[in-house]
Structure 1
Amino acid sequence: MFEDTKQIISRIGETDQLYLTSNTPELALERADLRLQLVARSHARQEQIHFLQEAIVLLEQARLEYEEMPLSLYLDLSLHLAKAYMMYFEISKEHRFALICQQILKPLTSYDHADIFFFLAYASVSKDELALTRHWLGKYAKHADFDLALLQEHPAFDQVRKTDWFIKLIQSKLH
Structure 2
Amino acid sequence: MFDTNTQIIERIGETDQHYLAGNSPDLALERGDLRLQLVTISRNRQERLYFLHEAIAILEQSRIEFEEMPMQSYIDLSLQLAKAYMIYFELTQDNKFAIITQQILKPLAHLNYTDVYFFLAYASAVKNEAAFTKHWLSKYVKTELCDYQLLLEHPAFAATHQEEWFKRLVKPQLH
- Alignment CA distance shift 1:108-1:3 (3 Å): closer
Normalising to structure 2: TM-score of the pair? 0.96
Give the corresponding residue for 2:127: 127
Find out whether 1:169 has 2:169 as its counterpart.
yes
Q: Structure 2 CA distance, aligned partners of 1:55 and 1:105?
A: 17
- 1:68 is aligned to 2:68: yes
Structure 2 unaligned spans of 5+ = none
1:53 aligns with 2:42: no
Partner of 2:114: 114
Aligned to 1:143: 143
1:158 is matched with which residue?
158
TM-score computed with the length of structure 1 as normaliser: 0.96
**Deviation readout 1:64-105 (Å, 9 max, x if unpaired):** 000111111100000000000000000000000000000000
Q: Deviations over 1:105-144 (max 9, x none)?
A: 0010111100000000000001011110000000001111
SS at match of 1:143: coil
Counterpart of 2:18 in structure 1 is 18
SS, match of residue 145 in structure 1: coil
Q: Distance in 1 between matches of 2:31 and 2:66?
A: 16
> CA offset at residue 164 of structure 1?
1.0
1:3 is displaced (CA, Å) by 5.2
- What 5-or-longer segments of structure 1 have no aligned partner? none
Query: What letter matches 1:146 in structure 2?
Result: C
Superposition map of 1:31-110 within 5 A: 31-110=31-110
The one-letter code of the counterpart of 1:98 is A
Which contiguous aligned blocks of 4+ residues in structure 1 show a shift greater than 2 angstroms? 172-175
